[in-house]
Structure 1
Amino acid sequence: MNQNPMEKKGVLKEYIADLSRCFNSLGIRTDESLYVTGNISRLGRVRLPKEKKLEGLHSALIKIIGDEGSIFSPAASMNLCNTDIPFDAKKTPSHEMGPLAEYFRLLPNAKRSLHPFWSIAGSGKNAHLLNEVSRHAYGLGSPWTHLLDLNTRQLNFGLHPSKA
């Protein structure tokens, strides 16, 4: 059974409202930095196409963190190890990070750190910090240093933190 566009609009609006309530209950606040990972299929049963679920999740997060907040996500492309394939921060897709990570990487205002194997994508007020890092994926001066300095909160959907 196909829903008409107006019904889908109502479902999307309710989905965003439900997610916003959940994020509020977690104490997520305006101007916060979030590192978001997960499996969107774990966000409840909702009759929306994947792209609309991703759009709804992003909208709900932005509704809470506002223009002063930031969203970061994994954008690793470890499949490039031991290959001659060049890394292009704008064009190289993330590999096995899932549709949520790829959605965040492809946002029009997204930035991406330049490590060819383990990069991070981000959007929002502090995303520029991803371009002010060392050449290393981890350690002092890496994107993770900036995320720690920002007191970034990790938000995982359907994944144990050790798998995120």
Structure 2
Amino acid sequence: MNSIRTPLQKQIAIKKEYIIDSDPAAGFLRSRRSVRSFQKKGVSRDTVSELLDIAGFAPTACNSQGISYQVIDNPDTLHQITSVIADWAEHSIETGSLKNSLWVQNTASTIAQYRKDGKDTILRDAPYLIVATAKKEQKTLGRDNTHFSLVYAQLYAQTLGLGSCWS
């Protein structure tokens, strides 16, 4: 496909061995699952870098690019993030700022369970948290671009034997 930003003469041809038939492609896409139970063992930085490299190939609106990733792997920081999210969610539910949303129905019980027994029902004890960000001036395009890149990361994670869940 020819475009102004990526003219055909500058495009790299897709190698024949990389083109997959529709049945394996459909099977792979149908096999995507959210994982909410993580092993205690870590993932190497090289593996995380590989994952984010592939995520960077996700399409972006108007080829705007500009996605940055923050990788958090410190257990104390992850616990603090869980606590802050729980506080924010409770506040949002109590003030009604998110009333009548499906999110409220699902989240209220999750937060109640977290408060009751301290079990991480938010990050699910994931060894890593990857936050994708875009420049503020990109507004909704940037938000959407981060979503696309995280979907690429989630799909590629499967090929590395990694589970993932995002929101």
TM over 0.5: no
Which TM class, normalised by the smaller chain length? under 0.3
TM-score (norm: length of structure 2): 0.24
Q: Give the structure with the larger strand fraction.
A: 1
TM-score (norm: length of structure 1): 0.25
